[in-house]
Amino acid sequence: MFTQRALVAAGIISVGIFALIVRLIWLQVVRYDYFAEQAQGNRVRIEPLPPGRGLILDRNGVPLALNAPSYQLEIIREQVTDLDTTLAGLAALNLLDRDNIATLKRDILHRRSFEGVPVKLSLNEEELARFAVRQQDFPGVEIRPRLSRKYPLGASGVHALGYVGIISEADQKNLDGNEYAGTTLVGKAGVEKSYELELHGKTGYQQLLVNAQGRRVETLGGKKYQLERKEPTAGNDLFLTIDERLQSAAEEMLHGERAAVVAIDPNNGDILALVSTPGFDPNLFGRGLSRAQYLSLYENPEQPMYDRALKGVYPSGSTIKPFMAMAGLYYNVIAPEDSKFCSGSFHLPGVNRPWLDWEKKGHGSVNMVKAIKTSCDVYFYGLANTLGIDRIHDYLASYNFGLPTGIDIEGEKKATLPSTTWRRQAFKDKAMQTWYPGDTINVGIGQGFLTVTPLQLAHATAAIAMHGKRFQPRLVHAIRDSVTTQKREIAPVALDDAKSNDPSNWQVVINGMEEVVKPGGTAVVAFSGVPYTVAAKTGTAQAFSLAKGQKYNAAQLSKRMQDHALFIAFAPVEQPKIAIAVVVENGGHGGSTAAPIARRLFDFMLLPPEQLAQQEAKRAAKLEKEPSTSAASDE
Residue positions annotated with a catalytic role: 318
Nearest to 565 by CA among 539, 544, 545: 539
> By CB neighbour count within 10 A (0-12 exposed, 13-18 middle, 19+ buried), where does 443 fall?
buried
Phi, psi (rounded to 5 degrees) for 562: -75, 165
Burial of 580 (0-12, 13-18, 19+ CB in 10 A): buried
Q: How far is CA 484 from CA 52, 199, 479, 481, in A?
A: 16, 15, 11, 6
Per-position b or e across 303-330, b if 16+ CB within 10 A of its CB: bbbbbbbbbbebbbbbbbbbbbbbbbbb
State the Cα–Cα distance between residues 330 and 414, nearest whole angstrom.
Answer: 24
Name the CA radius of gyration of the chain, rounded.
33
φ, ψ of residue 633 in degrees (nearest 5): -155, 175
Cis (ω within 30 of 0) for the bond into 572?
yes
The single-letter DSSP state of residue 93 is T
The dihedral region occupied by 157, where left means phi > 0, alpha psi between -120 and 50, and beta the remainder, is left
Q: Parallel, antiparallel, or unpaired: how do β-strands 56-57 and 237-240 relate? A: parallel
Nearest CA-CA partner of 566 in 602, 541, 533: 541
Of the candidates 567, 597, 556, the residue with the CA atom closest to the CA atom of residue 252:
597
Instruction: Determine contact, residues 195/164, Cβ cutoff 8 Å.
Output: no
Whole-angstrom distance, CA of residue 330 vs CA of residue 324: 10
Coil/strand/helix, residue 104? helix
CA gap 584, 540 in Å, rounded = 10
**CA separation for the pair 430, 269 (Å, rounded):** 42
Helix residue ranges per DSSP H, 516-608: 595-606
Q: Are 232 and 52 in contact (CB under 8 A)?
A: yes
Distance between CA atoms of residues 354 and 349, nearest Å: 10
**Angstrom distance (rounded) from CA 343 to CA 384:** 18
Rounded to whole angstroms, how far apart are CA atoms 413 and 403?
8
* 348 vs 583: CA distance, rounded Å: 31
Residue 278: is the preceding peptide bond cis (ω within 30°)? yes
